Amino acid sequence: MSKLRAFTMPKWGIEMTEGVVANWEVAEGASFAKGALLTLIETDKITNEVEAEYDAVVCRLIAQPGESYPVGALLAVFGDSAADAAAVDQFVATFGGSGGPSAAPAATETPAAPAPASAIVVPSDNNVISPAAADRARRDGIDVSVVAGSGRNGRITLQDVDQAGRAPSALPSGGPVSIGPITGLDQHFASPLAKRVASRHGVDLGKVTGSGPRGRISKDDVLQHVAPTAAETTAPPPSPPAPAPAPAPAEGVRVVKMSPMRKAIARQLTLSKSTIPHFYLRNSAAIDALMAMREQAKRATGAAPSINDYLVRACALALVRHPDINVQVHGDEIHQFGHADVAVAVATDKGLLTPIVRAADTKSVAAISAEVKALAERTRAGKLAPEEFQGGSFSISNLGMFGIDTFDAIINPPQGAILAVGAGRQSAGAANHALQFSTRIQLSLSCDHRAIDGAVGAKFLAELTALIETPEELTR
């Protein structure tokens, strides 16, 4: 008899509720060894490679690539050897997921028939069941093959076995209690509002049957004994009609389901735009001196940081000098950061992500450049760790490389501000009573008006512009 194992949707992080099976790296009927790559699972922010934690055979693949499944859902059935289809069918039909993490779930024997308590075999593997739970299962004759483990990786705990051994709790009937015909409102078991309605419409509470707890008479019970016109004036307004179903796509239209990452982005930006009072401050900065400095570094070393790397450094220095911008907003609290944790927007084929350069004010432009490149590579490969993209005190979104002159960015909550950067363009201006040409970039600062005032944002933007136009301090 093959020992079957359930492979379920794992849970990575408190906020994860579902995932998408991006691709299967194993086939039905094939065997795999411990450490082999089983599947790729996409979450809200990252794509994780799931490796095997034991040697097994793929008895059945249940999850379809590209489909979303909740945490704990059965994705595949593995076994220590090939199993017949009937046994796998029975295993799938009787599977009860715990909804908890289970990248390496508990093993269960495929039962041919219900076993008597004396014949129940309890696994001795501590990774499957805790020692205390195993002892309790043997003592009470509980079949652990039907117990859903709530511990890490589906491990069966003592609480799981105790719960399985309890008889179902009987729910109270909740039936109405007869209070008999009694005259006088105060002697009836009714809510104050029900008594007022009964008095106003002359309803005898002794003839009303209560539908509330322990037979308590409610307003709705009294209204059933009131004339229809009176009931209509007191009844709540009708519920709004159900939304109409989405129209069928027209011919030639391709329907694409949102990935978990795209849905998370949609939720975050909708929340930001609908709950955060944005205001925008715009300015331009000459980058001729910055470009000359970069060119000099390139001639000296053969490589140079990008303009965006210099901007990250400039923003970091401006943020520590203006701590009222270097904030997160949490309800009615403002969290000020001691260092500038600058998030840099990176476009991927699945959506926009913002990996974070931690304490950018303490790092050189060269160090920032190397870190941003590594973060961008991991972002596009879907291999960012949660701590690399969660949090941050400020964001930069640069669309200059796409030829965009200027735009306004949406704040990434709980951060208090974000800087939008456009492309460098040649422009003419007056300087020392003469016409002078310079290369300028457009800057747009989006601020959360709950925490940042206009004057505070303006001082920060002025400081940032000065650092960009006289960039010597950026290389210190």
Q: Is the separation of the CB atoms in 76 and 7 below 8 Å?
A: yes
**Active-site residue among 278, 339, 433, 449?**
449
Q: How far is it, in rounded angstroms, from Cα 320 to Cα 362?
A: 10
- Give Cβ neighbours of residue 119 (< 8 Å, ≥ 6 apart): none
CA distances for 138 relative to 106, 135, 141, 166, 307, angstroms: 17, 5, 5, 15, 68
Q: Is the separation of the CB atoms in 446 and 411 below 8 Å?
A: yes
330 among known catalytic residues:
no
The dihedral region occupied by 263, where left means phi > 0, alpha psi between -120 and 50, and beta the remainder, is alpha
- Give Cβ neighbours of residue 408 (< 8 Å, ≥ 6 apart): 278, 280, 420, 444, 446
What is the DSSP code string of 201-234?
HT--GGGPPP-SGGG-B-HHHHHTTS-HHHHHHH
Count of positions (residues) in the chain: 476
Q: Long-range contacts of range 306-310, CB-CB < 8 Å, 24 or more positions apart? A: 306/369, 307/400, 307/424, 308/344, 308/372, 308/396, 308/398, 308/421, 309/365, 309/368, 309/369, 309/372, 310/365, 310/468, 310/471, 310/474
Q: Is the separation of the CB atoms in 220 and 211 below 8 Å?
A: yes
3-state secondary structure at position 183: coil
3-state secondary structure at position 7: strand
Q: Which burial class, exposed, middle or buried, applies to 311 when counting CB atoms under 10 A from its CB (0-12, 13-18, 19+)?
A: buried
Which residues participate in catalysis according to the annotation? Answer: 449
